[in-house]
């Protein structure tokens, strides 16, 4: 029996967060949503995730800071970083894939497959 993988999606734009969350759920993942990096870090500190997908430009705590904090975990989850421009993403060893927004459903599935290898 296959275990359902859990993804934390961190995105500050409500419409995009909801649409991406729905697409991930329809693709068979258990999805938890966070509206900013601070909320995402709190969730990641308290619950295990197979993958974290995060926007970079967000209020309260941006994605780069979130990623740097996640990298301090004993066993950090892999991360997919999404941004308006790849140059906005600060390199980090836990980042498994990057993409410019908006991403298509097919691109998102490819990024997840790459990140979960």
pLDDT for 103 beyond 60: yes
Rounded Cα–Cα distance for residues 99 and 81 (Å):
7
Number of domain units in the chain: 1
Query: Is residue 58 assigned to a domain?
Result: yes
The answer for residues whose C-beta is within 8 angstroms of residue 39's C-beta and 6 or more apart is 10, 60
Average pLDDT over residues 85-112: 94
What residue numbers bound the domain in which 38 lies? 6-115
Q: How many CB atoms lie within 10 A of CB 7?
A: 25
Residue 76 lies in a domain: yes
In a domain, 32, yes or no: yes
Residue 1 lies in a domain: no
Banded model confidence at residue 117, pLDDT cuts 50, 70, 90:
confident
Radius of gyration for the alpha carbons in the chain, expressed in angstroms and rounded? 13
Residue 93 lies in a domain: yes
For the segment 70-82, what is each residue's pLDDT rounded down to a tens digit?
999 999 999 999 9
Q: The whole model's pTM is what? A: 0.95
Whole-angstrom Cα distance, residue 64 to residue 56? 6
* 110, pLDDT greater than 80: yes
pLDDT, position 1: 57
- Using the predicted structure, report yes or no on whether residue 114 has a pLDDT greater than 90: yes
Looking at the DSSP assignment, which residues form a beta bridge with residue 8?
A: 32, 52
pLDDT on residue 2: 67
Assess contact for 37 and 49: CB atoms under 8 A: no
Beta carbons of 32 and 43 less than 8 angstroms apart: yes
Structure confidence by residue, pLDDT tens digits, 22-32: 999 999 999 99
27 in any annotated domain: yes
CATH at 29: 3.40.50.2300
């Amino acid at each position: 029996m296959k275990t359902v993988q859990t993804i934390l999606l961190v995105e500050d734009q409500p419409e995009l967060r909801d649409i991406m969350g729905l697409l991930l759920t329809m693709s068979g993942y258990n999805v938890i949503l966070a509206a900013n990096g601070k909320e995402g870090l709190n969730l990641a500190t308290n619950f295990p995730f197979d993958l974290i997908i995060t926007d970079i430009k967000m209020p309260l705590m941006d994605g780069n800071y979130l990623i740097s904090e996640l990298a301090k975990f004993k066993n950090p989850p892999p991360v997919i970083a999404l941004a308006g421009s790849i140059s906005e993403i600060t390199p980090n060893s836990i980042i498994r894939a990057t993409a410019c927004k908006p991403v298509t459903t097919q691109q998102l599935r490819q990024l997840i497959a790459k990140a979960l290898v």
